[in-house]
Amino acid sequence: MMIDEALKERIEKLTLDFVGVYTSTGTARERRAEGFYRSWFGSMGYFKKRAELAGLYEIPGDHLNRSIPWCLLKGAGSATVVLLHHYDVVDTDDYKSLQDLATEPGELMSALREGRVELDEESAHDLKSGKWIFGRGTADMKGGACIQMALLERYAEIAESGALQGNILLIGLPDEENISAGGRAAPRLLKRLKDEHGLHYELALNAEPNDRVTGTSRPEIFVGSIGKIMPLFYARGKLSHAGMVYDGLNPIKIMSKIVEKLDVIADLIDSADGVVSPAPTFLYLKDAKNIYDVSLPISASGYMNVMFLKKSVGEIMGIVTEKCAEAFEEAIADVQRSFDSYVKAGGGEPRALPWKANVKLYSELHAEAKRDSGEEFERSLAAATLDIGEKVASGKMSLVEASHAVIEHTLLHVRDASPVVVIALVPPYYPVVANSMLSQSAEHANRACDEIIARAKSEFGDDYVKYYLVGMSDLSYFMKNPATGDDEYIKNNMLLWGDIYDIPFDELRDISMPVLNIGPWGKDIHEHTERVFREDLVNRTPYLTAFAIEKILF
């Protein structure tokens, strides 16, 4: 497709209009996008005549009643390219005095030129150059969304004439910046459309911005997206007065050892295809006390962020469980040595403290509660989970607090009241995806990727490199790794699974497809200096996106 001046102007206008629709993630404001998409569908003659090929798919059970806008261009054959993007943006609090202008790029840039907010040297240079468009969502990712939408308008003209080869499905996803409610629901929509229209999904093409390879000016084309889990650790100790410290066991002691063992642990650094995952780290650590008293806390907990590329979830959790057992034993050993010194100082004879290391997965704790309390436990947990889900939906309880509540409720139905560490997973879970996982079924997409890179070099002099998106993305819910057996493990150990969080693994397996990400150059994502490179937005990325579509379909 030729990228002419009319198309460039259309992309920029769509971007400015869409950025102006503030759709802050995790809030009812996300639904503002629905009117934008409805208007856009209605602007095309193709969908005026074929209203059944566009619509809003309501996300089942979503507490904000959000939808996935979608539209389908039908051509010859079953081969289908899926164009996907997310329409939510992070909040605008970081714009401070310019918050009201954050989604109005023209006014925002005027205010920035007036010096109303101090800019770093690079941002000031880019603003002065006139080559960048500043504003919340310009890069992440309404710019990429509007590239896809403007191109689809052109392909709709081809489809109207009956000359379109293959099919093009566009979907807009909410909640990518939070827990990917849209991405996780998308496989259900794609399965329905596949069955209704006889589609064969050849490629999912995302438009997340790229920020160039670190330390270079080389742009990236993503051929995969890193995975992520969040293991949670709940340590229950033994209550005692602080003046009788050896009568109890402090869960803070146990958690401190767990953090020492697992934070930035090299054993969990993963690599694949020249990409290396960041080391895992703890994002939360807290005891259960809300007020001061002179007793030991009864519990403490923390959760960590683990990103991975080749390791299975089961393998990761095996390492985590082993290290927790070591940490528990070391905590007991430390207390025992301290107690021995205390007793000797008083002229007494040391004796063994009663504590034993006890580490279990949530699935094991759940089975223990069923064994000890039977149907009463299951009825009680179902009622408690319903209440917890309502509190999460209303914003009265965070996912972490909800996870704690589930573990504590389960522990109430277990006879053994001794100290224990329970390990669970908390939402969200992002499966790792990479075209290398699909072998032969990804050959077409891999060849297209190589040709895209060659074309970028010949047309623009750009040296694109293949890379993984080392961050969370909705691409995780468009491919199912046939080699992994993690589904049941996730279901059994993910707290709140099936109540307020799930992934439709069966549908995902059925619609699984190769993935690519071609997005415009963006800088300072999620910061008040967020911006997109205009030349990428209106020319280079549209050209390469169209080239990718046509390589797959034509």
Least confident of 104-113, 243-252, 319-328, 439-448: 439-448
Boundaries of every domain in the chain: 5-95+140-226+431-483+502-520+533-553, 231-425
DSSP code for 12 = H
Give the torsion through C-alpha atoms of 118, 123, 124, 126, to 10 deg. Answer: -160
Strands 220-225 and 200-206: unpaired
- List Cβ neighbours of 507 (8 Å cut-off, separation of 6 or more): 187, 188, 190, 191
Name residue, tokens 């047309």. 459
> Which tens digit of pLDDT belongs to each residue from 386-421?
999 899 988 899 888 999 999 999 999 999 999 999
Residue 481: CB atoms within 10 A of its CB come to 17
The predicted pLDDT at position 80 comes to: 98
Q: Which CATH code for domain 231-425? A: 3.30.70.360
pTM of the model: 0.94
Domains 5-95+140-226+431-483+502-520+533-553 and 231-425 fall in the same CATH topology: no
The predicted pLDDT at position 350 comes to: 86
537, pLDDT greater than 90: yes
* Phi, then psi, of 528 in degrees rounded to 5: -75, -10
> Which tens digit of pLDDT belongs to each residue from 267-322?
999 998 888 999 999 999 999 887 777 888 999 999 999 999 999 999 999 999 99
Strands 420-425 and 299-308: unpaired
Among the four given CATH numbers 3.40.630.10, 1.20.1260.10, 3.40.50.620, 3.10.129.10, the one describing domain 5-95+140-226+431-483+502-520+533-553: 3.40.630.10
215, pLDDT greater than 60: no
Distance CA 89, CA 82 (A): 21
- List Cβ neighbours of 104 (8 Å cut-off, separation of 6 or more): 19, 20, 135
Q: Which of 451, 352, 369 is nearest to 415 (CA)?
A: 369
* Cis preceding linkage at 278, omega within 30: no
257, pLDDT greater than 60: yes
Q: Which of 72, 79, 88, 82 is nearest to 32 (CA)?
A: 88
Instruction: Give me the numbers of helices (H) and strands (E) for the chain, helices first please.
Output: 16, 20
Q: How many CA atoms lie within 13 A of 182 on its CB side?
A: 27
Residue 64: CB atoms within 10 A of its CB come to 16
Least confident of 46-60, 168-182, 205-219, 387-401: 205-219
The predicted pLDDT at position 214 comes to: 52
Least confident of 87-101, 169-183, 186-200, 478-492: 478-492
